[in-house]
Structures are given as C-alpha cells and as structure tokens.
Amino acid sequence: MAENKASRGFFGTLKAHLPDIILILSLLVFSGLLILMFSLFRPLGDRVTVEVEGVTVATYSLSADGEYEIGEGNRLVIEGGEAYISWADCPDHICIRTGRISRVGETVICLPNKVAVTVRGEGGPDLVS
Amino acid sequence: MGKTKRLVTLALFTSVALMLSFIESRIPAFVAIPGVKMGLANIATVFALYRLGVRDAIYISTLRVALSSLLFGSVSSFIYAIVGASLSLLAMVMVKWLTPLSSVSVSCIGGVVHNIGQVLAALLILRTDVVLYYLPALLLSGTVAGAVIGVAGGLLIKRINPREI
C-alpha cells in the first residue's frame, strides 16, 4: 500500500506538520469550550427522573430525602437536594463514582444496567424534544 | 505478499490488538465518564491502515472487536464497540485518502469519531438524549487518546522495516 511522506507521523521526522497542529489544537479548544458551556451555571433542578432502557420508571422530588432501588442493580439516594447512586452491581462502579447531581441536565448513568438518572426542572436540558 | 504470509500477518495483528484490548480492559476506569479509554488496540489498526491497506485494517479491526467482546465483554459492549470502531475506521480512511494529514491526525480523528459513534449507539440503545451531555468530555478524551495512539503508531510506521511488514 502506498506510504506517502505524510504517513510518517510528526514524531518520525521531529518536524511538526502545520495542518496536524492546527487540527489537534482546534479539536482541543473546541471540545474544551463545549465542556465549559455545558457545565457551568445551570439552575438547580427540582426532581430526578429514572430511566431504564429508555423508559421512565420513576420520578422523585429532590426536596424529599429517600433511598430507592432501581431494578436489582442500582440504589439511588436523595439527600439534601442532591441525588447519587450508593450501590451498584456493575463492574466499574462509574455510576457511584459520578457522585452527586443537583443541576438541571446533570446525569448519573450506569451503562451495563442501562440506567439513566437525570435532574429535571425549569430551564430544562436544551436537547429534550 | 504471499497468501500464507498475509494470512499469518493478519492473524498476528489481530492477536496483538486483542491482547492490547485485554490489557486495557484490566485497567480500572480513569474518570467517572463511561467510554473514556486510551484505545491501545488501535495502534494495531492505525499501523495496519498505513502498512497493510484498508481491507486488512477492516479485517483486523472487526475481528478484534468481535473476539474481545466475545471473550471479555458482553453483547451490549459488542454493539457499542462495533459501532464506534466501524465509524472510526470509515472516518480514518476518508481522512487519510482525502487530506495530507499525518497518521497522528488520522488517529486523532479516529478517536473522536469512535467516541461519537459510541454516544450515538448509547442514544439508540438507552433511548434517552441525556447521553449527549457526555459528548464534550468524550470529544476531549477522544482527541487526546487518538493523538497519543497516533504518535505511537507513527513511531512504529517509521521504525519497522517496510520489507518485513
């Protein structure tokens, strides 16, 4: 197969190719900006919805403390206006390590168990139809 | 390249990619965001793309994804992986063919598209658009991971004698 000069990668020649630097930098800047836009300054929500495989199975108010089982694999805790997963049977425990959510649009997701907990409220997530 | 040599080469590449995938699966998740990973196995994909050609890269990549989800994954991990890997390979082939960008950028774009593909798959499987909130972080990690893998692949492309592989 043809191996053009550009395929050597810039560490190969120790000389950076300009288009590469431009591309990578702009990708980094772009995603960095997206992250800032999405994460800061969102309003506190008043409730959380629990979706399993896309079906909303429960909605809980954030103002009432409680502990709820989601199916057999996750346990949801509402405490002090925040929600978090306290126990799960998935291998990586990413859902637990996500920590507490309280702002509109924030989510805790457990992919293996197909669970999504989302904060809803005024000024809701921009992407919900 | 003779038929036998090609067959053996493809098998070796697939095995190496599989081992890299396995090693990576044993590393506990870095960040509390599903889908963030280095994509070590893609070093083999990138190298194959530049040295063995598009068709062989497709073979290696697809076989590796199928085997790794069969051996240490699940059906749902297979779906996410195959969608991500296919779109990623498609994007890399297009970028390599249409632009003069180096292997680092090709791999970078491969990483980004891979994550976009996985978000798309999650969108369809979970039926909730909430997963889109993870997209910015995944774009960032995809760019960084893709670039690092691209550098590693570039080093291999440069160092391994074209007459051997």
The model's pLDDT over B11-28, given as tens digits with 9 standing for 90+, comes to: 999 999 999 999 998 888
The least confident of A14-18, A39-43, A105-109, B148-152 is A14-18
Please say whether the beta carbons of A86 and A74 come within 8 A: no
B128 reaches A (C-beta below 8 A):
yes
- The torsion defined by the Cα of A84, A86, A90 and A94, in degrees rounded to 10, comes to 50
Nearest CA in chain B to A124: B130
Which pLDDT score is estimated for B111?
Answer: 94
Q: Is the pLDDT of residue A11 over 60?
A: no
Among B102, B130, B140, select the one facing A116 at the smallest CB separation: B130
Q: Is the pLDDT of residue B8 over 90?
A: yes
Which pLDDT score is estimated for B78?
Answer: 92
Residue among B51, B48, B47, B79 nearest B65 (CA): B79
A105 reaches B (C-beta below 8 A):
yes
Which pLDDT score is estimated for B35?
Answer: 81
B124 reaches A (C-beta below 8 A):
no
CA–CA separation, B84 and B24 (whole Å): 17
Q: Is the pLDDT of residue B129 over 80?
A: no
Compute the half-sphere exposure of residue B104: CA atoms within 13 Å on the CB side of its CA.
27
Length of chain B: 165
Q: Which residue has the tokens 């994509």?
A: B39
Rounded to two decimals, the pTM is 0.75
Residues in A closer than 8 angstroms to B108, CB to CB, are: 23-24, 27
Q: B27-66: per-residue pLDDT in tens? A: 887 777 878 888 999 999 999 999 999 999 999 999 999 9
Q: Cβ of A12 and B144 within 8 Å?
A: no
Task: Summarize the confidence of residues A116-123 as an average pLDDT.
Answer: 83
DSSP B117-151: HHHHHHHHHH--GGGGGGHHHHHHHHHHHHHHHHH
Question: Would you place residue B79 in the very low, low, confident or very high pLDDT band (cuts 50, 70, 90)?
Answer: very high
Q: Cβ of B157 and A12 within 8 Å?
A: yes
Which pLDDT score is estimated for B43?
Answer: 95
For A12, A93, B125, B164, the CA distances from B156, given in Å and listed in that order, are 9, 35, 37, 12
Nearest CA in chain A to B73: A112
